[in-house]
Structure 1
Amino acid sequence: MSATFELQGLRALVTGGTKGVGKAVVAHLCEAGANVLATARSRSDELSEERFIGADITTVEGCKAVVDAVLDRLGGVDIIVHVAGGSSAPAGGFRVLDDDEWNKALNLNLFPAVRIDRALLPSMVEQRSGVIIHVTSIQRQLPLPEATIAYAAAKAALSNYGKALSKEVSPKGVRVVRVSPGWVETEAAENLVARIAGQNGIDMDDARKVIMDSLGGIPLGRPCAPQEVAELIGFLVSARASAITGTEYVIDGGTVPTA
């Protein structure tokens, strides 16, 4: 189904909007007619300066800069999609995760959503309309202990926060929905596949299988594409999903073995 003009006139903010899933979400929302602002540390060549807010949202100051820009340029917001997230923690399990690594995980994967929501939600409640999407991860329920304990815990916290928020603001006209991707083959993921292939003297398909095996397998036989996640988010922020709030949609090719 074409999403052309489905979001015409709506104002949207996408965090982490210059790469991977965030970049795909920005493109999808723009195609659907929304007036989109994307935030990240640096602008991509495909994104015009008019659609970009440069900020480090792992900081209080960065979140405030984003909120101020949204209010100044858009006068408010109808859609917020929190895509920003990730992990740079070293491998080695719990022993190598000091307080600094835990703080990094929370400051990237939880607190930006909390801070930006807290600042922008009052106007959404006042207009009695709006949608917030929190992009979590299947690692909230399927953590990988070697390197992503802190990331997985932060995403679990984000999911719990999103559920609680939905109970508070859905009666006031604002929907809150969570999207939980599995392995998505972004540019960064493709680089990882190439690195595994080079290190092990195998081809790209076999390197992808190494990653899929580390996840316990993907029944679909492949990772998701960023555009597929963007399509799901585009539906959830549209009027077609007007009865959907408080739930979490898993898009992982069947990776998580339980419902």
Structure 2
Amino acid sequence: MQNDFNFNNELSGRIALVTGGTKGAGAAIAERLEKAGATVIVTARNPPDKPNEKMYFIPADLSKPEGTQKVLDEVLSKFNRLDILINSLGGSETPGGGFAVLTDQDWEQTIQTNLLAPVRLDRGFLPQMIDRKEGVIIHIASIQARLPLYDSTLPYAAAKAGLLNYSKSLSNEVSPKGVRVLTVSPGWIKTTAAARMMERISESSNITIEQAIQSVMDALGGIPMGRPANPEEVAELVGFLVSPRAGYLSGTEFVIDGGTIPTI
């Protein structure tokens, strides 16, 4: 279905950066933008398992200020500008067990990765977008900003809630200057990392993979669509939002969760 779609090179001539662009939804977003004709730069701590020669890769740890500065310097020196910034990097590596098991380091590392890395990149790339009166910034948040799972991802949920608030505020400031800022909040995405997590749950609980998947959906309160999202489905939404077809959209959060959040 998606492979037959004619993207019409609608992003031709555009330069896009996708953080966390070597795996999961980030990799799918990078591929979607490249298919639409954009020149795509991806950054992550480690190179992709299967490098795409059509994309420019910058190795960097964006949880550290020096990693962010490296990306800023390399993108602007090699490409002279950036038109599209996809802040897709995110994740949680904190232990389960609720608030009592979390250290300051757990909180700081999670906030650096999920909130401050996008803040630094925005701050670095926005001036040249504002000078040209054009540009699009997408923040990939999470439904956990509104539906937190305190037992296992408390700092992550708090950081994504902060990202959601920051994104709206930034949009209010820079939309009048020609730069659109949007947030995409996915629910559970069927990534390689998620598949490995299902395997661990299956092994530790002595249940099948299917039962492990159901247990996660139950923990989320259920997914009306009956399954997690495919990375390509998230990428398709992002591809639309950065395109000229979405030119009047700014300051809005787009939730893609199969109906997981039960409230309006």
User: What TM-score results when the alignment is normalised by the length of structure 2?
Assistant: 0.96
Equivalent residues in 2 for 1:11-30 (5 A)? 11-30=15-34
Q: Unaligned stretches of 5+ in structure 2?
A: none
Question: Which residue does 1:63 correspond to in 2?
Answer: 68
For residues 96-153 of structure 1, what are the alpha-carbon distances to aligned partners after superposition, in whole Å with 9 as ceiling and x for unaligned?
1121111011110001111011011000000000100000000001000101111100
**Pairing 1:167–2:177 present:** no
2:111 to 106, 110, 116: 106
Q: How does 1:92-241 map to 2 (within 5 A)?
A: 92-241=97-246
Deviations 1:179-198 (A, max 9, x none): 00000010000111122222
SS in 2 for 1:133: strand
SS in structure 1 of the partner of residue 152 of structure 2? coil
Give distance in 1, aligned partners of 2:91 and 2:8: 30
Counterpart of 1:14, as a letter, is: V
Cα offsets for 1:190-247 (capped at 9, x unmatched)? 1111222223333222221011001110000000000000000000000010000000
Letter in 2 for 1:3: F
CA distance in structure 2 between the partners assigned to 1:162 and 1:92 by the alignment: 30
Give the distance between the partners of 1:252 and 1:173, measured in 2 at CA. 29
Matched to 2:145, the amino acid is R
Correspondence 1:10 to 2:14: yes
In structure 2, do the counterparts of structure 1 residues 4 and 205 end up closer, same or farther at CA, with 3 Å as the change threshold? farther
Aligned amino acid, residue 15 of structure 1:
T
The farther-off stretch of 195-204 and 56-65 is 195-204
Note the C-alpha offset of 1:258.
Answer: 0.7
Instruction: Name 2:84's counterpart in structure 1.
Output: 79
Q: Which moved more, 1:204-213 or 1:230-239?
A: 204-213
Matched residue of 2:184: which SS?
strand
Letter in 1 for 2:165: N
Q: Secondary structure of the residue that 1:147 maps to in structure 2?
A: helix
Q: Which runs of 4+ in 1 moved over 3 A?
A: none
Q: Identity rate of aligned residues, in percent? A: 52
Query: For 1:3, what is the secondary structure of its paired residue?
Result: coil
CA RMSD in angstroms comes to 1.1
Select between 201-210 and 181-190 the one with higher mean Cα deviation: 201-210
The code of the aligned residue for 1:130 comes to G
- Normalised to the residue count of structure 1, the TM-score between the two structures is 0.97
Aligned to 2:263: 258
**One-letter amino acid of the structure 1 residue matched with residue 22 of structure 2:** T
Equivalents in 2 of 1:45, 1:98: separation in Å? 32
How far does residue 74 in structure 1 lie from its aligned partner after superposition?
1.3
Matched, 1:243 2:222: no
